[in-house]
Amino acid sequence: MAQTSTPVSGPRRGWSRPGGTRGPGGGLAGPAAVAGLYTLVQLALLVAGSGLGWDETVYVRQVSPGAEAAFFSAPRARGITFLVAPLTALTPSVEALRVYLALLSGAGLFLALRVWRPLLPARVPTVAGALFAGLWVTVFYGPQVMPNLWVALGSLSTVGCFLRAVRDRADRAALAGLGAGAAFTALMRPTDACWLALPLLLAALCVGAWRRPAVLLTLGAGVAVGCAPWVAEAYLSYGGLGERLRRADGIQGELGWNLAFYDQLRALQGRLLCRPCDMAWRRPGTGVWWFVLPALVVGGVLTAVRARRPAVVLVPSLAGLSLAAPYLLLIGYAAPRFLLPAYALLAVPAALCLLWIAAAVRPRPVAAAGLAVLLAAHLVVQYGILDRVAASGRAHRTAFGRVAAELGRHGVRPPCVVSGEEAVRIAFRARCASRQTGGHDVSITPARLVALARDRPVAVVVPGAGRPPAYARGWRPLRLPDLPGARGLRAYVSPSAGPPPRTVRPPRTL
């Protein structure tokens, strides 16, 4: 049949060398072991004592029973809220949420790797999964209520299903997986899904044997279905798709030509959001793998070319570069999570290259030992960063708990409203609503906030050097406990919170 002569499934001469297997196929024990270990590491290092970040709080508040939803800004999509809704309906426990997402992300990694089993020697998906799961950013965002890891897993699965669908017209499961993967990715982040679909559509149009209407329609329909809720919400809440895109562009810093390579490199030290990215690069060792990755990708592509199967590695490489492009070229700030989809796809050619090196260098035990030492050093660096980031998360949870307790002691209790500095996270811990009168998250006017303050406690949080807004200058000032990176916080509490607590003096002793 014509489709069996495509570049994806051409002659396999030399294909058995990388990884030491006889060809595509093999068991699932390797991917299952990688996914299981990935889950166990999350459960061991990231569950106990962790708190919700700012973005996480926004997503969780959308589906928390009995809580007022936090303001949902234009760039956000609701896919991750749909994913966590079943758990938040049962319990408000952050630890339970972390366990739930750790288990789901481990299962998602296994399913994404399983898609590639018919395409590559069995060891390649296993090593690719290990490379991806070994990054601190991959482990950290496994149990986080953030969409980026899920975009990565959806992209990895979508590209694998695409290659299987163009290889074999009879593989209906791959065609269904292509549509489902594209829809899932678009549901999580519509813009990322478009960057993913672009190279796949071009590949399907440029390679004659791949130019199948079923593949093109399935991919396009999947993206359209996944984007539909975001587009519908644009017309219902933002005044149209164009207006939502305009507002999203403003929040993201006016997209344009911005080279963010150095910003992304410095963020790998453990900075979750580098905006502005004015930090020093004090730990160059954290970025060594970033310079090695392009060489491994090129090596993987050349290895596949020698085996006369270039497409199976070239397509994920191009898709990974496409997903990385907006975050490296168009956005003037950085966050390690932005590049997770690119890392997941580029891990495929990188794994093929590493396995070729292990098989080609003589003597083999020396080559294997050398690679093992390098990978061990890499993991030591990655888990050192992970430990610092996890410790910072636990410290934030404790600090925000103290702030919420102090507000509660001064009468800011449900139903209540918090505005100003770090309002989203403080409000979540205090079980209040969060409202902002300015900035990207403006959701209420000052007059309306003052009106709310007549019948419920309202607290306006001001940074150390800041001044309270005019409407709150007559409210009772309150010194708050320090937050990491934010000292001297003050809150201005409305009269509806009641009088300050009385200080009970200890009895005098004779």
Residue 402 domain-assigned?
A: yes
Domain identity same for 343 and 443: no
Domain identity same for 84 and 207: yes
Domain identity same for 253 and 308: yes
Domain identity same for 126 and 263: yes
Q: pLDDT-derived band of residue 2, with 50, 70 and 90 as boundaries?
A: very low
Residue 451 domain-assigned?
A: yes
Domain identity same for 142 and 39: yes
Residue in 1, 6, 33, 4 with CA at minimum distance from that of residue 309: 6
Domain identity same for 156 and 62: yes
- As a whole number, mean pLDDT of residues 247-255 equals 83
Q: pLDDT-derived band of residue 392, with 50, 70 and 90 as boundaries?
A: very high
Upper half-sphere CA count for residue 292 (Cβ side, 13 Å): 14
Domain identity same for 426 and 298: no
The residue segments making up the domain with residue 406 are 395-497
Cα–Cα dist 373/154, whole Å? 32
- The CA distances from residue 21 to 316, 354, 359, in Å, are 21, 14, 11
pLDDT at 379: 94
- As a whole number, mean pLDDT of residues 227-250 equals 94
Look at residue 1 and tell me whether its pLDDT is greater than 70.
no
The count of domains in the chain is 2
Domain identity same for 253 and 400: no
Domain identity same for 136 and 220: yes
- As a whole number, mean pLDDT of residues 234-254 equals 90
pLDDT above 70 covers a percentage of the chain that reads 93
Residue 389 domain-assigned?
A: no
pLDDT at 510: 46
Q: State which of 316, 337, 360 marks the end of a domain.
A: 360
477 secondary structure, DSSP code: E
Domain identity same for 465 and 353: no
Residue 267 domain-assigned?
A: yes
pLDDT at 439: 85
Residue 380 domain-assigned?
A: no
Domain identity same for 352 and 399: no
Look at residue 141 and tell me whether its pLDDT is greater than 80.
yes
Q: State which of 360, 375, 405 marks the end of a domain.
A: 360
Show the tokens assigned to 433.
């609503």
Residue 413 domain-assigned?
A: yes
- As a whole number, mean pLDDT of residues 45-67 equals 93
Q: pLDDT-derived band of residue 508, with 50, 70 and 90 as boundaries?
A: low
Residue 385 domain-assigned?
A: no
Residue 374 domain-assigned?
A: no
Domain identity same for 140 and 253: yes
